[in-house]
Amino acid sequence: MKLKICGMKYPDNILEVGSLLPDYMGFIFWEKSARYFNGSIPDLPKSIKKVGVFVNATQEDILEKIAKYDLQAVQLHGQESVEFCLDLKQVLKDDNGKQIQIEIIKVFSVDDSFDFEVLKPFETVCDYFLFDTKGKLPGGNGTTFNWKVLEKYSSNKPFFLSGGIGLEEIDLTKEILTTNLPIHALDLNSKFEIEPGLKDKKILKKFQNNLKL
């Protein structure tokens, strides 16, 4: 199972967590977030995909951050439309007009009444969905939604599972990974923090080890 560690902020901590070789590492470019990132990303192993997290950002801002930080994926955590995702996908080209392989992850905030029908128009304009807990903030609320609602998920589009996943949820996590749901990766954030943006490598390592058992 792939892991994404999100909300990274401090260079030394980025390197420390990078030594665990997560599949993805997320950097939040939303200024209102306590995990807002505006520093420099140290050199990481090539196997780690750098993800830029955006909330209703302009296309220009997203493209600027992709170029500046050499991002391999963008996570759209706001009310971005189908048209916005399609336009972004179409402009992701290099100077020679060749398509750049940037993964587009579209986030949806889920509660017990979530209507999965809203996902259908997005299936062709993004590479992955990400399901997070519906809360006061776009993300990082530290609570888990009722994963039973995912039984209503009928799409084949792979998705990231997010929202308050920590060591206490390890048994539930193992259980949902035994289902036929197309879970691409687990998204880890607030429950592994010493403070916003500063991750505890020891707890992350423990989660990694327990997940493999």
Contact 173, 213 (CB under 8 A): no
pLDDT band at 185 (very low <50, low <70, confident <90, very high): very high
More confident residue, 94 or 106: 106
Q: What dotted CATH number matches 2-212?
A: 3.20.20.70
Neighbours of 18 (CB within 10 A): 20
Residue 195: pLDDT over 90: yes
pLDDT band at 142 (very low <50, low <70, confident <90, very high): low
pLDDT band at 101 (very low <50, low <70, confident <90, very high): confident
Model pLDDT, residue 96 = 73
Model pLDDT, residue 213 = 59
Residue 82: pLDDT over 60: yes
pLDDT band at 114 (very low <50, low <70, confident <90, very high): very high
Residue 18: pLDDT over 70: yes
More confident residue, 51 or 135: 51
Model pLDDT, residue 99 = 75
DSSP letters for the chain: -EEEE-----HHHHHHHHTT--SEEEEE--TTSTTB--S-PPP--TTSEEEEEESS--HHHHHHHHHHHT-SEEEE-S---HHHHHHHHHH-B-TTSPBP--EEEEEEEE-TT--GGGGGGGTTT-SEEEEEE--SSSS-------GGGGGG------EEE-SS--GGGHHHHHHHTTSS--EEEEEE-GGGEEETTEE-HHHHHHHHHHHH-
Give the integer Cα–Cα distance in Å for 200 and 169: 17
Give the integer Cα–Cα distance in Å for 184 and 60: 28
What pTM value is reported for the model?
Answer: 0.93
Model pLDDT, residue 138 = 57
Share of residues in the chain with pLDDT > 90 (%): 86
Model pLDDT, residue 137 = 60
Segment 116-128 mean pLDDT: 96
Q: How many C-alpha atoms does 139 have within 13 Å on its Cβ side? A: 34
Q: In whole numbers, what is the pLDDT of the chain averaged over residues?
A: 93
Residue 141: pLDDT over 60: no
Classify residue 92 by burial, with Cβ atoms within 10 Å: 0-12, 13-18, 19+. middle
pLDDT band at 94 (very low <50, low <70, confident <90, very high): low
Model pLDDT, residue 92 = 83
Segment 112-122 mean pLDDT: 95
